[in-house]
Amino acid sequence: MPISRKDLADAGSPEALVKRILKAEPNLPVPVPIQELCVSLGIVKTADFDTEEFEGGLVTDAKRSEGTILVKRGGEPRRRFTIAHELGHFLMAHHVPDQPGGFLCKSSDLLRVQAKEGDQRQRREVEANRFAALVLMPPHLLRGAMAAFREPNLQHVLTLARDFAVGRETAARAYVQYHPERIAIVVAGNGRVQRCYRSLSFPAIVCAVGSPVPTGSLYHRSSHRPNIASDIAVCSPDLWIDVKRDLRAPALYEQIYCQQNGFSMILLCLEPVPEDSAEERKLEEGWRYRFHSGRR
């Protein structure tokens, strides 16, 4: 690869770094050759990491002149994300390790999408995850792959995960972000909500992390076969979202994908709202507010 660290000069954010990488390497194939990219950018070695406590690590010097990435043994999609995550730490100069000489990252670090205010360590992990997701699924390539996807379907997530050689959850986050419909994907483990990803237009999900999957959900039907996406079926919207009284509830659809390890993905899709209906709803809400507040 012709790219070098010089091509990334003065780029500090995940988005700026990936933009420079794509400019220097406009013809990146799918799946992105992440280890070749590492070598071109100063990673001299990628080694197996025999540990139960950590998912990956980075060993480097204070000047970041070169680095070694450590990766826990496991499936290839998981290893690829870990390598990309550690490369992000290496390339972002403002990422200061907790201890001299490098970074050690747990599996929870590689799932983090938000940081507590003022927590610099969590912020670094979030940025490294953003970098990994962007570099493994470059936006222009992802949009091209999703152009053929019309109606929301978990089968599309599985296709993206296979083609980009990433984990299903990584593909699910990207799918929710780039799909034009109002969708969300809930990750459940052993019957409880673990994580939720939703598009900007999808309302907040009322089920808290750690709470049981709602009893009325399609998830609890016994007909699901492992590793096969279910049919899409309508469900009661108040299972997952806050439905305001006296307003017409939107139609909500569910689809389930169960894995053999006890984890599942639940796709939620709200029916599109016609423009005239949306305008009528705004007028109705405004009238209702004026009525209850005593205003005219």
pLDDT at 295: 52
pLDDT band at residue 260 under the 50/70/90 scheme: confident
Where are the chain's structural domains? 5-136, 178-275
For 14, 84, 124, 153, 177, the CA distances from 136, given in Å and listed in that order, are 12, 7, 18, 22, 15
What percentage of residues in the chain have a pLDDT greater than 90? 78
CB 61 within 8 A of CB 19: no
Q: Which CATH number fits domain 5-136: 1.10.3470, 3.40.50, 1.10.287, 1.10.10?
A: 1.10.10
Query: Which pLDDT does position 255 carry in this prediction?
Result: 97
Length of the chain in terms of residues written = 296
Does residue 148 carry a pLDDT above 60? yes
Beta carbons within 8 Å of 104's beta carbon, 6+ residues apart: 54, 57, 98
| 35 three-state secondary structure | helix
Helix (H, G, I), strand (E, B) or coil at 161: helix
Structure-block tokens of residue 204:
């907040």
The sign of the CA dihedral 32, 161, 108, 207 is: positive
Among residues 94, 77, 95, 85, the alpha carbon closest in space to that of 54 is found at 85
**Residue 162: pLDDT over 90:** yes
Name residue, tokens 């990491």.
Answer: 49
More confident residue, 60 or 224: 60
Say if residue 286's pLDDT is above 70: no
85-134 confidence digits (pLDDT tens)? 999 999 999 999 888 889 999 999 999 999 999 999 999 999 999 999 99
Percent of the chain clearing pLDDT 70 (strictly above):
91
Per-residue model confidence (pLDDT) at position 296: 46
Per-residue model confidence (pLDDT) at position 158: 97
**Banded pLDDT at 216 (limits 50, 70, 90):** very high
pTM score over 0.85? yes
